[in-house]
Amino acid sequence: MTAAVPPGGFSAPKGVPEYVGPEFTSVRDTLVREADRAGYAHIELPVFEDTALYARGVGESTDVVSKEMYSFDDRGGRSVTLRPEGTAGVVRSVIEHGLDRGGLPVKLRYTGPFFRYERPQAGRFRQLQQVGVEAIGVDDPALDAEVLAVADAGFRALGLRRYRLEITSLGDATTRPQYRQELTRFLEKLDLDEATRERARINPLRVLDDKRPEVREQLTDAPLMIDHLSDEAAAHHAAVKRHLDDLGVAYVENPWMVRGLDYYTKTTFEFVHDGLGSQSGIGGGGRYDGLMAELGGQDLSGVGFGLGVDRALLACRVEEAGLDTASRVEVFGVPLGDAAKDRLVGIIGALRHAGIRADLAYGGRGLKGAMKAADRSGARFALVLGERDLEAGEIQLKDLTDGSQQAIALDGAAAAVDRALEDS
């Protein structure tokens, strides 16, 4: 039995965006470039991992693990999961290959697709694209600030302005348990619906960033982690803010902020954009003290971020920031007749060998149609070749920005075009 074409034709899987043209890669590469400038090395990671890696690394009680993972058994009976986030995979790789046995910190960056089974909406996808960095092995607030500055520089480089950086500290293992108890006692006294009470039971911190006004109202007097930091965590937090000031990175403190992944400690942050609707986070991350040890490695801490490429692109559109609209080609060939086309195919090939992006009108279109195609290609120059030019040993080089045209020798035409592009 062969599968039938579904009514209406095949479509991409639900919640999976597709990008045509230079915009997506332009946004992604701009974000990556800032990480490269700060010395983060690329790491190419598997798109799926042992399911247990995420269960243990991200946390069983998180929504990401408990109801959003794409998990399946492979043909060998192993349970594998399409990666829902990047940090666990990086840490696993660092441990597995002993990358933490050399100089510290280990600074790595990655990019690619991640997968979460969620209900899609504007800015929320089942296949999402992230750029991330991780700096592992050194617990230095200056490193937290560097990570934040790299993310901020990426968004600035895109031309984004209408976002803010929110930061807080989630404390460390010495004081968080007792804070958690205090918060739980506070929440028990509130008038909350059943779903929220359940959330409070699983992870009381999560209740703090509830968006509903009637809930927020009750939370104004809630105890906050930021007021219950250990001396060390408080000093760390103060140092991060000091470094951010020195780096010229603007931020606001948001002590109600919570992260959905269990591994975060101390510094946590989120980049929030106001023009995207309810999915407003364009990036987020923080420090994770216990994750390396949790996954079987040395007891080293790390800090990192994940930036949403899809959402950054949406933000660029909202702000009408300078998205890359670079033309596909610089030169476009317009042949008149078969003999001219034979010759032009070779010339276009020579241009490409010389490193010039070039295309030509295929399909035997008329002159008008071919010129139209040249216009649409975004090329700076058109190369028009007909019988008359062939006899004269010439080819017409037309500047499409002002319409001017000059005849150049057919022999060595590629070199002449190269010069014309350099002069323009």
Using CB under 7 A as the binding rule, the residues of this chain from 343 to 362 that contact RNA are: none
- CB nearer RNA, residue 83 or residue 236: 83
Q: Buried (b) or exposed (e) across 93-115, using 16+ Cβ within 10 A?
A: bbbeeebbeeeebbbbbbbeebb
Task: Tell which one of 177, 322, 349, 366 touches RNA (CB under 7 A).
Answer: 366
Binding to RNA by residue 398, rule CB under 7 A? yes
Contact criterion met (CB below 8 Å) for 296 and 94: no
Binding to RNA by residue 180, rule CB under 7 A? no
Task: Tell which one of 60, 246, 387, 411 touches RNA (CB under 7 A).
Answer: 387
Task: Tell which one of 14, 37, 42, 78 touches RNA (CB under 7 A).
Answer: 14
Task: Tell which one of 388, 393, 419, 424 touches RNA (CB under 7 A).
Answer: 388
Binding to RNA by residue 211, rule CB under 7 A? yes
Task: Tell which one of 109, 165, 389, 417 touches RNA (CB under 7 A).
Answer: 389
Binding to RNA by residue 189, rule CB under 7 A? no
Binding to RNA by residue 8, rule CB under 7 A? yes
Binding to RNA by residue 374, rule CB under 7 A? yes
- CB nearer RNA, residue 141 or residue 204: 204
Coil/strand/helix, residue 223: coil
DSSP string over 237-263: HHHHHHHHHHHT---EE-TT---SSTT
The residue range among 62-70, 141-149, 156-164, 218-226 that interacts with RNA, by the rule CB under 7 A, is 62-70
Q: Is the bond preceding 204 in cis, omega lying within 30 degrees of 0?
A: no
Binding to RNA by residue 22, rule CB under 7 A? no
DSSP string over 15-33: T-----SSHHHHHHHHHHH
Contact criterion met (CB below 8 Å) for 219 and 207: yes
Shortest distance in whole angstroms from residue 101 CB to RNA: 28
How many residues comprise the chain? 424
Please give the angle made by the CA atoms of 297, 299 and 305, to the nearest 5 degrees.
Answer: 85
Identify residues 243-272 at the interface with RNA (CB under 7 A). Answer: 258-261, 270-271
Q: Which residues pair with 155 in a beta bridge?
A: none
Binding to RNA by residue 23, rule CB under 7 A? no
Binding to RNA by residue 7, rule CB under 7 A? yes
Binding to RNA by residue 112, rule CB under 7 A? no
Shortest distance in whole angstroms from residue 117 CB to RNA: 8
Interface mask toward RNA for 285-324; x: CB under 7 A: ---------------------xxx-xx-------------
47/33 Cα distance (integer angstroms): 22
Q: Which residues pair with 372 in a beta bridge?
A: none
Coil/strand/helix, residue 308: strand
Select from 269, 281, 270, 277 the least CA-distant residue to 312: 281
